[in-house]
């Protein structure tokens, strides 16, 4: 009976560990989003995280003859990337991100986590500023 309980407890621990990994650490997908950076701020009560919003322009809309914007809300884990985003609000960015199943308090409020900047452009020019 004791051996059975030990095996059962080990199976439960492994199952819960697998679920936690899948829920919070498994990367569902990654990609690049482009648009104008609306803001990037550092906020939080206990865990101070960097949060931002990228506005992507689009032409799909429910009402005819109107343009709908798509908001991409994200978290940033790298302080250097966040500082660069905060200093260049209003510019066009191509941001590389990873999508997770759930958010962790120390990683940010969003399931989408930006890990690098692919390109940064001034709105009036086509040059890459980096």
The CATH number linked to 35 is 2.40.50.140
In this prediction, residue 121 carries a pLDDT of 86
In a domain, 92, yes or no: yes
The domain of 98 spans 28-121
Could you tell me if 71 and 54 are in contact, meaning their C-beta atoms sit under 8 angstroms apart? Answer: yes
27-82: pLDDT as tens digits: 999 999 999 999 999 998 899 999 999 998 766 556 666 666 688 999 999 999 99
Residue 85 has pLDDT above 70, yes or no: yes
104 with 47: CB under 8 angstroms?
no
Cα-to-chain-centroid distance, residue 35 = 14
Q: Would 9 be classed as within a structural domain? A: no
Whether residue 1 lies inside any domain: the answer is: no
The alpha carbon of residue 124 and the mean position of all alpha carbons in its chain are separated, in whole angstroms, by 27
Please state the domain count of the chain: 1
Q: Is 75 a member of any domain?
A: yes
Residue 126 lies in a domain: no
The H or E element that residue 85 is part of is helix 79-87
User: Is residue 128 in some structural domain?
Assistant: no
For residue 45, tell me if it sits in a domain: yes
In a domain, 8, yes or no: no
User: Which of helix, strand or coil describes residue 21?
Assistant: helix
Return the pLDDT at 64: 67
């Amino acid at each position: 009976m004791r051996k059975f309980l030990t095996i059962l407890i080990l199976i439960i621990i492994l199952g819960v560990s697998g679920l936690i990994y899948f829920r919070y650490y498994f990367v569902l997908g990654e990609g690049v989003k482009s648009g104008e950076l609306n803001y990037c701020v550092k906020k939080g009560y206990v865990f101070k995280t960097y949060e931002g919003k990228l506005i992507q322009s689009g032409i799909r809309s429910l009402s005819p003859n109107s343009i709908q914007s798509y908001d991409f809300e994200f978290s940033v884990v790298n302080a250097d990337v966040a500082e660069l985003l905060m200093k260049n609000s209003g510019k066009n960015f191509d941001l590389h991100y990873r999508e997770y199943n759930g958010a962790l308090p120390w990683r940010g409020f969003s399931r989408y986590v930006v890990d690098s900047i692919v390109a940064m452009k001034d709105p009036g020019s086509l040059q890459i500023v980096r």
